[in-house]
């Protein structure tokens, strides 16, 4: 029994030290990201997190990326809990995610951060629970769900654009998400899009149009100029939004096959637009086998959507795609 008490005291002391060290780093990031004007952040205990995830039981896991999402309950409320894979990120990324998530939590199209726990070696984040899960592949949220209809996909694209516009324009410094992709979008019970995961975000200094940094993100969504030069501008997010729009339209989140060969999604889209018919581009799961009889109004809407997506992808620096179009 004395040994057990000693171990408990030692563990408690370690948690206090981690909480103090992580708290200091978080405060620095909050001040740097928000100019000192940030929302209060609720602190959860390690006991609450361990209980909610059943000691990080894989059976409670929701999805895995550069971090692991767990489903859980805290204070009789369903929550989504994010635990980082330590080797995938540096401390700056952990605290930037908390800071920017807190800053953005008032936006209806951002996954609301409820708080975090600083008593582990890397912070653990607690979010509102999105009933319809992550949009990890086009047309679906939960694996058992039916493909999403066109009007919902159109709504999702608009809501992602709204969240990105808010991120780019509402703060003293423009913030670039830098990892826009379907897997970082969640859907609530009303199929409202909720953008998340700001760990790779970066601020552009006031008066500047861009900043150089290491290239990071998800390969198929990375803007070519950023990939070549490391220059981060608003265009980085606009390009990724265009790719998301094409995936929502085509239902192809992986490299499509053309004549038996894997090609880039953009090349696939251009090839079909050149040879026709346009209906070949559209995810057949939305059409119920009636691709030849799409109402004119719906077809025009899809064509305009495609044109806007291509503008986002092919824009020049001074001719940016209008995110709110």
Residues assigned a catalytic role: 179
Strand residues in the chain grouped as ranges (E) = 42-43, 61-64, 67-74, 77-84, 113-117, 124-128, 174-176, 185-187, 193-195, 202-204, 211-212, 231-232, 257-258, 261-262
Long-range contacts of 44-51 (CB under 8 A, 24+ apart): 44/74, 44/115, 44/116, 44/117, 44/124, 44/126, 45/117, 45/119, 46/15, 46/117, 46/119, 46/120, 48/74, 48/117, 49/81, 49/117, 49/120, 49/124, 49/126
Q: Cα(305)–Cα(285) distance, rounded to whole angstroms?
A: 18
């Amino acid at each position: 029994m004395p040994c057990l008490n000693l171990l408990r005291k030692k563990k408690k002391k370690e948690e206090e030290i981690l909480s103090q060290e992580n708290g200091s780093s978080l405060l620095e990031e909050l001040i740097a990201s928000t100019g000192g004007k940030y929302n209060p952040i609720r602190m959860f205990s390690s006991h609450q997190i361990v209980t909610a995830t059943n000691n990080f039981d894989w059976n409670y896991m929701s999805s895995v990326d550069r971090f692991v999402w767990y489903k859980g309950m805290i204070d009789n409320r369903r929550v989504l809990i994010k635990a980082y894979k330590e080797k995938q990120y540096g401390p700056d990324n952990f605290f930037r995610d908390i800071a920017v998530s807190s800053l953005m939590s008032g936006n209806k199209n951002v996954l609301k951060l409820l708080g975090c726990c600083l008593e582990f070696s890397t912070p653990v984040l607690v979010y509102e629970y999105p009933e319809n899960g992550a949009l990890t592949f086009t047309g679906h949220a939960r694996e058992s769900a039916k493909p999403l209809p066109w009007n919902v996909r159109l709504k999702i694209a608009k809501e992602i654009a709204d969240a990105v516009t808010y991120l780019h324009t509402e703060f003293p410094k423009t913030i670039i998400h830098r990892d826009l992709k379907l897997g970082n979008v969640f859907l609530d019970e009303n199929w409202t899009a909720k953008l998340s995961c700001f760990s790779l975000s970066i601020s552009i200094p006031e008066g500047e149009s861009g900043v150089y940094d290491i290239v990071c993100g998800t390969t198929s969504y990375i803007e070519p100029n950023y990939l070549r030069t490391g220059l981060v501008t608003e265009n980085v997010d606009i390009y990724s939004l265009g790719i998301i729009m094409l995936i929502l339209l085509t239902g192809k989140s992986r490299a499509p096959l053309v004549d038996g060969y894997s090609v880039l999604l953009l090349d696939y889209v251009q090839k079909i637009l050149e040879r026709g018919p346009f209906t070949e581009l559209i995810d057949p799961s939305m059409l119920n086998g009636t691709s030849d009889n799409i109402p004119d109004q719906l077809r025009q809407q899809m064509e305009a959507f495609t044109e806007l997506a291509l503008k986002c992808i092919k824009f020049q620096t001074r001719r940016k795609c209008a995110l709110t179009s």
